[in-house]
Each structure stands twice: as structure tokens, then as C-alpha cells.
């Protein structure tokens, strides 16, 4: 019932409705354009075991099962303070995340970069992909693993160009749209109610004026019988004049 009343109010106050819709559309567009989209770029790297000396022709991808922990350790080194400080010099405004792919048992690292510009995201991703083999080699050299026995990395996939992320600007524009539509509905309902009350009050005033007497003193004063004047003194004088004393014989 309230929705029907609101629709009726909007139809009655359609000029105000058009103004509110125009303001809402303009404000929503302004908010959407004021917020720049962010850019995201991703890549995946898989760790590959060294070539077997006993079976040099064996497929190295068959031995991926034992490298999951190595991928976890490498991901932690990529997120260390030292590595983070070195990587962020390439793009200070960008952020990144390197973590193992928990959806698979393979030793895969997922790299995700987010930045305000596409150039910054691309530069950050390139820096990370160059840093991964450095950290992987340092980890193995720290435990005296020969170069021929070291784990290596292979790039599985990489975005050709950063993808724009519109989530934030769409969310804020949607909130602006919903808020302004609600305020417009409340405004139209309030204005319509005020105008209806004023119109009803004017009608009552006009009706009361039409029902008022046409002239002052419309009821004529009723005539009194003879001998009953309006002035009591005149009645007394007339009464005493009629009752004259009778003379004695």
C-alpha cells in the first residue's frame, strides 16, 4: 500500500521526479568517473626438479609431487621484508602477493600484482618474475646444493596486459545511486504530503466562507405587544397614567 502511495505521489509531482532523477544520474556518473580503476596482472610459476642422472631422459614433470613444500618456502621468501623492499623500488605504488596454489598438489606459485596504473602493474610483475629465480637459487646455495641438482622454475602463464578492475568504482556508484533514489523518494513523498495538506486546508477555508451569513442582523427583532415597550420607564409611566385615582363623592 505504501508503494502504491509513493507511485501516486511520484505521478502527481512528476516535475520534481524528473529533477531528482536528473540529479541522481549526474551524481552517480560523477562518482563513477571520479574513481579511477585499478589494474591487476597475474602470472603462475611451477617448480621443476633437476634432471635425474640415472634417468636423464625421464620427464621432469613426473617428479613434481615432492616440491610442494619447496614452493611454500619460496613464497615466504618472496614476501619477506628484504625482498619486498627490493621489488617495490620498481613500482612504489603497486602491491603484490606471491603464494602457493592451494587448489592443486603441484608446486605452483601464483603471483598477483595490483596497481593504480597499467604500466606500474606490468613493471611490478616483471620485477617479481625476475626475482623468483634469484631467491630460489639463494635458498639452495645456502644449503650447498650444486647447480646441477638445483630446482628450477618454469613460467606457466602470464597476462599479456593488466586487466582493469572496476569493482570499487561500481560499488561506490551503486551505493550513490541507491542512496540518492531513496532520498528522492522521501523528498517527493514529503513534498506531496505537504502540498496535499495545504490544498485541503485551503478547501476548508473556502467552504467556511461560503457558509457564513450574507448580512449582519439578518434576524429581525420581534414586535412586542402594545404596552410593552423597549423602555421599562415608559411602561411604568403609561401604566400610572391609566390608573388615575377615583374622586370621592
pTM over 0.75: no
**For the chain, domain boundaries:** 2-34+168-195, 38-165
Please name the residues in contact with 127: beta carbons below 8 A apart, sequence gap of 6 or more.
87, 90, 91
| C-alpha cell belonging to residue 105 | 598438489
Give the pLDDT confidence score for residue 231 in this predicted structure: 52
In CATH, which of 3.30.70.1130, 3.30.470.10, 3.40.50.720, 3.10.20.30 is domain 38-165? 3.30.70.1130
Closest CA relative to residue 49, chosen from 65, 29, 28, 25:
65
Give the pLDDT confidence score for residue 214 in this predicted structure: 52
On whether the CB atoms of residues 29 and 174 are closer than 8 A, the answer is: no
Closest CA relative to residue 237, chosen from 246, 227, 247, 245:
227
Question: What would the 3-class secondary structure string for 55-120 be?
Answer: CCCCCHHHHHHHHHHHHHHHHHHHCCHHHHHHHHCCCCCCEEEEEECCCCCCCEEEEEEEECCHHH
Give the pLDDT confidence score for residue 61 in this predicted structure: 86
Give the pLDDT confidence score for residue 216 in this predicted structure: 47
Give the pLDDT confidence score for residue 230 in this predicted structure: 47
Determine the Cα–Cα distance for residues 37 and 39; give it in Å rounded to an integer: 7
Please name the residues in contact with 95: beta carbons below 8 A apart, sequence gap of 6 or more.
113, 114, 115
Residues of the chain with pLDDT under 50: 1, 215-223, 225-230, 236-249
Give the pLDDT confidence score for residue 37 in this predicted structure: 87
Amino acid at each position: 500500500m505504501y508503494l502504491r502511495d509513493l507511485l501516486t505521489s511520484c505521478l502527481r509531482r512528476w516535475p520534481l521526479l524528473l529533477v531528482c532523477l536528473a540529479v541522481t544520474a549526474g551524481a552517480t556518473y560523477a562518482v563513477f568517473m571520479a574513481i579511477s580503476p585499478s589494474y591487476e596482472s597475474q602470472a603462475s610459476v611451477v617448480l621443476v626438479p633437476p634432471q635425474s642422472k640415472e634417468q636423464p631422459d625421464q620427464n621432469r614433470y613426473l617428479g613434481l609431487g615432492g616440491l610442494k613444500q619447496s614452493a611454500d618456502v619460496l613464497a615466504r621468501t618472496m614476501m619477506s621484508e628484504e625482498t619486498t623492499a627490493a621489488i617495490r623500488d620498481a613500482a612504489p605504488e603497486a602491491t603484490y602477493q606471491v603464494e602457493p596454489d592451494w587448489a592443486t598438489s603441484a608446486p605452483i606459485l601464483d603471483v598477483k600484482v595490483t596497481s593504480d596504473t597499467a604500466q606500474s602493474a606490468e613493471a611490478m610483475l616483471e620485477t617479481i618474475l625476475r626475482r623468483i629465480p634469484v631467491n630460489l637459487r639463494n635458498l639452495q646455495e645456502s644449503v650447498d646444493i650444486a647447480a646441477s641438482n638445483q630446482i628450477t622454475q618454469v613460467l606457466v602463464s602470464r597476462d599479456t596486459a593488466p586487466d582493469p578492475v572496476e569493482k570499487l568504482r561500481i560499488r561506490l556508484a551503486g551505493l550513490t545511486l541507491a542512496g540518492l533514489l531513496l532520498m528522492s523518494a522521501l523528498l517527493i513523498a514529503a513534498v506531496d504530503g505537504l502540498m496535499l495538506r495545504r490544498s485541503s486546508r485551503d478547501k476548508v477555508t473556502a467552504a467556511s466562507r461560503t457558509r457564513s451569513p450574507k448580512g449582519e442582523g439578518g434576524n429581525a427583532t420581534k414586535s412586542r405587544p402594545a404596552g410593552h415597550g423597549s423602555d421599562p420607564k415608559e411602561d411604568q409611566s403609561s401604566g400610572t397614567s391609566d390608573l388615575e385615582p377615583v374622586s370621592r363623592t
